[in-house]
């Protein structure tokens, strides 16, 4: 039987080998976060050893972030002001991404890229590297982003209008306890979702209009090329 240290060394060397073979396009597009879905793991054929290695990277990342939060608290800083754009948070995120993707074989990484594009839909075409791969010029990409942003603005306007009407009766309420605050928040959420559902036809029509505008700007050839990049359609089991 191999000694534990020998097995660990073999795993590390294997991960390093995969990292050196990583396709820059695949690693740029692939969203490592969807690897938490066991159906995705099965589709990629992720092994137990790979999962163990990924978990070790995730645990190490979590420990670093917790240490960072502790340091911020020691400095008296408000943790609510720390978001994903924080340099330290971003640095740790990118390191975790690189480490996790390095555990995948080139074939697994390519499939993860395909599943990522399938999940994001047409929005994936707005990425600069994807746009270049499917033959979109900078000018067409700019127009495509504008078409998508216009649809987003209209959709957000509907959502904001609904939210404003729902939240209005609650603005003057002052919860006395944390439990009351959580209960009120949950009630607002339920009322908002119910109210928003009454606009489902309008939202669906807007999505259709946005898609048509987007496709008219992009053209059929780039869309066909994008569909190739998405690979075989994944049907979760």
* pLDDT per residue as tens digits for the range 74-95: 888 777 777 778 888 899 999 9
Which pLDDT score is estimated for 20?
A: 52
For residue 73, pLDDT over 60 is answered with yes
For residue 14, pLDDT over 70 is answered with no
Q: pLDDT averaged over the chain?
A: 89
- Pair of tokens at residue 217: 């700007």
Task: Look at residue 148 and tell me if it is in a domain.
Answer: no
Task: Look at residue 219 and tell me if it is in a domain.
Answer: no
Q: What is the pLDDT of residues 169-196, one digit of tens each?
A: 998 888 889 899 899 999 999 999 999 9
Average pLDDT over residues 43-72: 94
Domain total of the chain: 1
Task: Look at residue 93 and tell me if it is in a domain.
Answer: yes
Task: Look at residue 90 and tell me if it is in a domain.
Answer: yes
For residue 2, pLDDT over 70 is answered with no
Task: Look at residue 159 and tell me if it is in a domain.
Answer: no
Q: What is the pLDDT of residues 199-215, one digit of tens each?
A: 999 999 999 999 999 99
Spell 134-158 as b/e; 16+ CB within 10 A means b: bebeeeebebbbebbeebeebbeee
Which pLDDT score is estimated for 4?
A: 39
Average pLDDT over residues 139-150: 96
Which pLDDT score is estimated for 22?
A: 80
Which pLDDT score is estimated for 1?
A: 40
Task: Look at residue 42 and tell me if it is in a domain.
Answer: yes
Task: Look at residue 160 and tell me if it is in a domain.
Answer: no
Task: Look at residue 136 and tell me if it is in a domain.
Answer: no
Average pLDDT over residues 9-36: 72
2 versus 176: which is more confidently predicted? 176
Which pLDDT score is estimated for 10?
A: 40
181 Cβ contact list (under 8 Å, min separation 6): 175
Average pLDDT over residues 140-149: 96
Provide the CA 45 distance to its chain's centre, in angstroms.
21
Which domain does 9 fall in, by range?
Answer: 1-119
């Amino acid at each position: 039987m191999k000694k534990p240290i020998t097995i660990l060394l073999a795993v590390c060397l294997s991960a390093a080998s995969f990292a050196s073979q990583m396709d820059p396009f695949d690693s740029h597009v692939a969203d490592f976060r969807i690897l938490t879905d066991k159906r995705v793991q099965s589709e990629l054929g992720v092994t137990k050893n790979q999962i163990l290695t990924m978990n070790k990277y995730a645990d190490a990342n979590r420990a670093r972030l917790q240490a960072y939060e502790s340091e911020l608290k020691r400095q008296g800083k408000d943790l609510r002001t720390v978001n994903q754009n924080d340099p330290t948070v971003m640095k740790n995120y990118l390191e975790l991404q690189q480490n996790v993707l390095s555990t995948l074989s080139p074939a697994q990484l390519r499939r993860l890229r395909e599943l990522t594009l399938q999940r994001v839909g047409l929005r994936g075409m707005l990425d600069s590297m994807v746009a270049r791969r499917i033959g979109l010029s900078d000018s067409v990409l700019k127009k495509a982003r504008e078409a998508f942003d216009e649809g987003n603005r209209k959709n957000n306007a509907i959502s904001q209008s609904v939210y404003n009407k729902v939240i209005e009766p609650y603005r003057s309420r002052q919860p006395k306890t944390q439990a009351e605050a959580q209960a009120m928040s949950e009630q607002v959420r339920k009322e908002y979702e119910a109210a928003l559902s009454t606009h489902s036809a309008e939202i669906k029509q807007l999505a259709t209009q946005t898609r048509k505008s987007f496709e008219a700007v992009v053209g059929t050839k780039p869309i066909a090329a994008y569909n190739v990049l998405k690979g075989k359609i994944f049907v979760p089991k």
